[in-house]
Amino acid sequence: MRWINRGHEYDQAYERMAEKKSFYLFGAGDYGRQFIEIFSSEIQIKGYIDNDSSKQGQIINGMRCYSLEEVTLNNDEGIIITMSQYARVMPTEQLRQRGYIRNEHFFDIEEFVSVYHVYKYDKVYFSAISFLPSTVCNLKCRHCLNFNPFAEKFYVREWGELVRDLDLFFSCVDHIMLFHVSGGEPMLYKHTADLIEYIDKKYGDRIDTLRTVTNGTIIPGDEVLKKISECNVEIVVDDYREAVPCYKENFDKLICKLEEYHIKYYVNKVDNWIDLAPERTDNSRMTEAQMEAYRSSCNQSWQELRDGKLYSCNYAAYATVAGIAGEQDLEEAYELTQFGPEKKKELVEFRLGYTTKGYTNFCRKCRGFTPGNAEKVEVASQQKDIEY
């Protein structure tokens, strides 16, 4: 999205939010759970909406779950979509077909969380950020979203750089729903346990969920596990056993170790990945207006924190690190060293997708998380002929 009225892009949206006396949450999964933990004492939540028939009629996190067909909004009621960027494509279309208008009748979770807090409390509250200390990985996934198959070498950050970024970030941001330490494979990075400990001990009271991820193939040492166990962190264990069966034993051992150290974890098993296909996508003929519309249609809502900056699309940032996107324009990044109290709404707008240009250079090479990108690929399919 391109800035038109910097610092005031959400004035009208907040007015609509403030008019609502109660909300339904569309999505009874992880995002919905987190939202209730943040807002249960702040706003009236009437229940969940979910397309999963097995959830409908059930009580989830203390809230009844309905089908969309069971819900009719009154003028003072709204819907907040509490699901991931790609999962919300169909529900958003369902709401539009019923005549509901975005930022009037329904709101995305990222926008609601940030806009509500900055307008009502003058606080910068982010929904999430991606923090990637290293792209080092033992797998060679053909459709890696770090674009490792295209990189000449892995990217590894020094400890001092990480600390400077963290301290700068939290000097600008008051609170964050999800701080995600990503990879690569974080369990191969030598400072991962120290990084989690630093974030948790220094900034844990300003983070709703501190999370990291592992591909389930690496068993950390006891020293690492002990340090992690002393932190308020959860680990997402990706289940790639079908794609890399040689690691099945490691997966089982890792789960046992996490349970032994009482570390909170979730097993993540997905049916397929989406292919951003930078080697087969050419949007170079699109006009500026077309590129802006293309980026606005993308349901990618993550950003990366790196080198004192926020990058407007984390996948564009990863592609730059991998060497396939060229240098990123200054318009694609927000320089946190230039932030001041008068720029709180501007910073929130950037985090929610507003930039000077309205798209990234990598958009010209990326298929995006768009409704038109239906090309699903096998999870963690390995590319055998690449040497790192």
pLDDT, tens digit, for every residue of 33-60? 989 988 888 899 999 999 999 999 999 9
Q: How far, in Å, CA of 203 to CA of 206, rounded?
A: 5
Q: How many residues does the chain have?
A: 388
- CATH fold, domain 125-377, is TIM Barrel (3.20.20)
User: What average pLDDT score do residues 337-359 get?
Assistant: 96
Cα dihedral 94, 99, 103, 104 sign: negative
Question: Looking at residue 386, what is its pLDDT?
Answer: 46
User: What average pLDDT score do residues 237-252 get?
Assistant: 96
76 pLDDT above the threshold of 50: yes
In this prediction the pTM is: 0.93
User: What average pLDDT score do residues 294-313 get?
Assistant: 91
Question: Looking at residue 235, what is its pLDDT?
Answer: 98
Residue 242 contacts residue 324 (beta carbons within 8 Å): no
User: What average pLDDT score do residues 270-274 get?
Assistant: 88
User: What average pLDDT score do residues 221-231 get?
Assistant: 97
SS3 10: coil
pLDDT tens, residue by residue, 138-193: 999 999 999 999 999 999 999 999 999 999 999 999 999 999 999 999 999 999 99
Domain locations in the chain as residue ranges: 11-109, 125-377
**What is the DSSP pairing of strand 175-181 with strand 125-131?**
parallel
pLDDT band at 374 (very low <50, low <70, confident <90, very high): low
**b/e sequence 261-276, b meaning 16+ C-beta within 10 Å:** bebebeeeeeeebbbb
Give the helix ranges, DSSP H, for 20-64.
30-39
**Which CATH architecture describes the domain 11-109?**
3-Layer(aba) Sandwich (3.40)
